[in-house]
Amino acid sequence: MSGSLPTEDPLVRMYRELKRASAKDKAQVKWAMVIDQAKCIGCHACAVACASENRLGPGVVYRPVIEQETGTYPNVGRRFLPRPCMQCENPPCVAVCPVTATYKNAQGVTVMDYTRCIGCRYCIAACPYGARCADFGGFYTSRTAESPGQVQGRYAARAYEKQNAPEYGRNWGERGKGSPIGNARKCHFCLHRLAVGQLPSCVTSCVGRATIFGDRNDPASLVSELIGSPRATTLKPELGTRPAVFYLA
């Protein structure tokens, strides 16, 4: 068997490393993500898995996949740029929040306190990556016709929206008028999944294994290995935000 072929699914390795990280003191762990653009096929599975996992309402997206065209005709290329929250070490969104509703947790993830957020959207304007969304309270079923007895009717479809958003390990209740409606929302590396030993949903749903996740404080982790690659880069490094999401160009 060729030595260049992978002998193990990266997902298996990431789960093993996640278990190792979970056993450590929380303050010793720094979560990071590496996205290999050469492997990303632009299937948008991560974006859909994220929306489903976090019960995102209409117009709220944590991880859109941007399609980019490069070069000039006839030497053109096409690549994809999945864009989660960069979990910056020096996040502009945290500094501007007037009510400390957003902050960095011990593992370096920028989190939201939905119960504190006043919905001023200053953090959204401050994020240089457009990685935050305002939840204006839309419903996927608001224009769905009712069809009694049919699976696709409004009331049947509403079952999706009745499910509780699991973010930050708290029961936010059925989507109605309470938070997170009216708040700013963002990717949080699926902290609620990490808490129970699961990788973020965008990582597990990536069919090309283009998204790698792990503890960058663990030198033996796949994510640390890839961050050290000469291909590794970050978005808008000139702003000094020091993202924890790296791209392999």
Partner 1 sequence: MKASVNKPLLYLSCIGLAALAYGVVDVIIHRAGGTNLGSYVPWGMGVVMYLLFVGFSAGGLLVSALTELFGYRQLKPLGGLATYAALVAEVCAGIAIASDLGRYERMFNFVLSPSLTSPMFWMFVFFGGVLVVSLLKALAFARGDEGQAVLWSWVTIPVGLCFYFTNGFFFSVLTGHGLWSGPVVPLLFVAAALVCGVALVCSLAWWSRTDWDAAVLLSGVVLRLLVVFAILEGVWLWINWQGGRVETTAALANLAAGPGAWAFWGLHVVAGVVLPLILLPQCRNNPALAAWACLFILAGFAGARWAFVVPAQSVAMLPGLETAWQHPRLLLTYLPSLAEWCMAAGVSGLALFGFVMGPRLFPGLYGTTPQPSQAR
Binding residues for partner 1, rule: CB under 8 A, are 47, 58-61, 64-68, 81, 83, 92, 95-101, 116-122, 124-130, 132-138, 179, 181-184, 235, 239
Nearer Cβ to partner 1, position 125 or 207? Answer: 125
CB of 93 to partner 1, least distance (A): 10
CB of 26 to partner 1, least distance (A): 23
Nearer Cβ to partner 1, position 29 or 46? Answer: 46
CB of 184 to partner 1, least distance (A): 8
CB of 98 to partner 1, least distance (A): 4
CB of 82 to partner 1, least distance (A): 9
CA distance linking residue 28 with residue 198, whole number of Å: 19
The two beta strands, 245-248 and 31-36, are parallel
Nearer Cβ to partner 1, position 17 or 135? Answer: 135
Query: Contact at 8 Å (CB) between 238 and 70?
Result: no
Nearer Cβ to partner 1, position 21 or 61? Answer: 61
Nearer Cβ to partner 1, position 119 or 208? Answer: 119
Distances 134 to 7, 119, 120, 190 between C-alpha atoms, Å: 43, 8, 9, 18
Nearer Cβ to partner 1, position 138 or 169? Answer: 138
DSSP code for 152:
T
CA distance linking residue 210 with residue 249, whole number of Å: 12
CB of 220 to partner 1, least distance (A): 33
Would you say the C-alpha torsion 166, 172, 177, 179 has a positive or negative sign? negative
Which among 211, 209, 198 has a CA at the least distance from the CA of 6?
A: 209
The radius of gyration computed from the CA coordinates of the chain, to the nearest angstrom, equals 19
Query: Contact at 8 Å (CB) between 160 and 136?
Result: no
CA distance linking residue 112 with residue 104, whole number of Å: 9
